[in-house]
Structure 1
Amino acid sequence: MAKNLPPLRLLSVFEAVLRTGGVRAAAQELNVTQPAISQALRQLEDHVGARLLDRRTRPAARTQAGEILEAAVVDGLGRIADAVEQIRGLEAAGHAVTIACSVGVATYWLMPRLARFSALQPHVAVNVMTTPQGAPRLTPSIDLAIRYGLGQWGDGLVELLFPERVAPVCSPAFLSRLMDEAGGDPIRLDRAPLIHVRAEDPTWLGWPAFLKQRGLPEPISPGRQFTNYVQATQAALDGQGVMLGWQSITGGLMREGRLVAATSDQVVPREGFYLVSAFGAGEREAARLLKDWLLGEG
């Protein structure tokens, strides 16, 4: 079969002429003379035994044989280009790692740490995949995942990243407003505007469970509802209410003074944040470096 195939050089010239619209443009792109392009086209036509271009038109039109060969050449060269990229990617994959987590964890916990990791390991490319809540299951394209729960998953190696602590937080200005309204009395969460996150995960601690565990009354008003933690955090920063601050996510904002504790109440849930590593991920340098570094940061 290979004996019937024309040289790849001739096919590349043919493809360039069709794509650029003419011999002159193809010669400029390939950095050769126009006669060289014309000669290559004639050699290709001799090889296949048919006219490929109708040179009586300007620009030259494809003959029926030219249309047939064009479809095959475009598809074939495209597949070759894809294959070359995949082959190059085999080497690059050893220096890349993909980690999945919720958008809240990515924004407030992971990204600030990745800046430090990149400074230490500049040759490692880290790809971050986010979901509104939780983290997707590990797939062949995901090396690591940060998940909240009891650590009872079987799709990878599970290691505790950090425990959690949950407490009511708000902006300093909003806290001053609550204190003024309380007139010196302790702040009552059941009377404060609360910020809720609608969580699909039943283990995610929301206001009803938090208040029940602390023996506090249910809120009078429904408060504001958000679909993810980033939206809720921004609402708290804007002084729209009191949110449940997860130490891993709002801890940095509290250290910066942008959020403060609204009351002294807090809950330490049984669940924590875990790093789940795909089986065999530790054999790849990039995944192993990021995993070990994150466990150290936790």
Structure 2
Amino acid sequence: MRPHFPSLPALAAFEIVYRRLSISEAAHELSLTQSAVSKQIKALELFFGQDLFERRARGLVATPAADLLAARLAPCLDQMEGLVREMHAVRQGGGVLKLAVVPTFATRWLMPRLRHLAQHHPNLVLNLSTQLDRFEFAGSGLDAGIIFGKPDWPNCDYSLIATENQVVVCSPDFLQRFGRPAERKDLSRFPLLHSASRPNAWSRWFETHGLPEPAGISGPRFDLFSMVAEAALAGLGIALLPEILIREELKQRTLVALFPVETYSEGAYYFIYPRHKAHMSGLQTFQTWLLAQASSQ
């Protein structure tokens, strides 16, 4: 049996009073009287057996006990708010999906399309996080993922979103300052931008084209493809990037392709999920929408 807990309305009132350090402002936000809010705070102080606020002439001052309670309470209230949204979504038939996505695909491909998802599936609650490394669904709380690589995950089903075509790019400003490499072999004379998630990408690129790898390839290294793209846009060097992630920049010519788009990547982007979650309405809705978006690109 769970121990006795303070009331949720009292905790909600405390959170606002702590944030504003004002009974009157909290009362206005809650559409209650100041007396009602004061009673909620007093009930909490009696429950915990200690003062939460010091009443001074210039206003309220939070005690160390209030600081502790506020720090622990805030994430609980956030979770409760999320639970309420999810319960409404389930009631309205939209469903809930907790999704992990590789970071740059999330920011450069998925995020620009989420407005369309919200417009066409307003009752679907999508909880999105990023995962750069391979993860386990068991114990993660995740329902599905968008990964790059091979779909060799045990007890999972998957759908192909897109293959990955690589393109060598730089900014127009970089071309003006350094000139355009006439041939692929000339790249060894230019600063090359590197992604820490694929440290051997340039080595494989030179090998694919039958070129010797330059000794001590120069250029900075970045954690994410999104950072590499921003570095290329800033004119820091030449980048080897997935074409699917920089289509808008290529269209606007803020990045310029130095050679034709090439297909040689070892992996692809997949939507993947545990088989036992295939029945989830939120997963089915998102998967149908996602694959339609991928096929229209």
Q: Calculate the TM-score normalised by the size of structure 2.
A: 0.66
Alignment of 1:211-230 (within 5 A): 211-220=206-215, 221-230=217-226
**Counterpart in the other structure of 2:228:** 232
Instruction: State how many pairs are aligned.
Output: 241
Alignment of 1:1-298 (within 5 A): 88=84, 91-92=87-88, 94=90, 95-131=95-131, 133-134=132-133, 136-138=135-137, 139=139, 141-179=141-179, 185-186=182-183, 188-199=186-197, 206-220=201-215, 221-264=217-260, 266-298=262-294
Compute the displacement of 1:108 (Å): 0.7
Partner deviation per Cα, 1:45-66 (whole Å, 9 max, x = no partner):
xxxxxxx9xxxxxx9xxxxxxx
Q: Please tell me the residue identity of whatever aligns with 1:218.
A: E
Unaligned runs of 5+ in 1: 42-51, 53-58, 60-73
* Contact 1:137 1:155 survives alignment (8 Å): no
Compute the displacement of 1:135 (Å): 5.1
Alignment CA distance shift 1:275-1:118 (3 Å):
same
* Contact 1:108 1:252 survives alignment (8 Å): no
Partner deviation per Cα, 1:159-199 (whole Å, 9 max, x = no partner):
2111111121111222343436x6xx436111111000112
Alpha-carbon distance in structure 1 between the residues aligned to 2:82 and 2:262: 51
* Contact 1:135 1:146 survives alignment (8 Å): no
Cα root mean square deviation, aligned = 4.1
Alpha-carbon distance in structure 1 between the residues aligned to 2:225 and 2:34: 59
* Structure whose CA Rg is larger: 1
Partner deviation per Cα, 1:228-279 (whole Å, 9 max, x = no partner):
1111111001011111110221223212222111223734224211110233
Alpha-carbon distance in structure 2 between the residues aligned to 1:85 and 1:250: 36
Alignment CA distance shift 1:256-1:265 (3 Å):
closer
Alignment CA distance shift 1:212-1:120 (3 Å):
same
Alpha-carbon distance in structure 2 between the residues aligned to 1:279 and 1:89: 25
* Contact 1:171 1:260 survives alignment (8 Å): yes
Alignment CA distance shift 1:291-1:129 (3 Å):
same
Compute the displacement of 1:33 (Å): 8.4
- Range moving further from structure 2, 101-110 or 283-292: 283-292
SS of the aligned residue for 2:146 comes to strand
Alignment CA distance shift 1:205-1:137 (3 Å):
farther
Alignment CA distance shift 1:190-1:265 (3 Å):
farther
* Contact 1:134 1:147 survives alignment (8 Å): no
Unaligned runs of 5+ in 2: 18-22, 44-48, 50-54, 56-68
Alignment CA distance shift 1:208-1:91 (3 Å):
same
* Contact 1:96 1:125 survives alignment (8 Å): yes
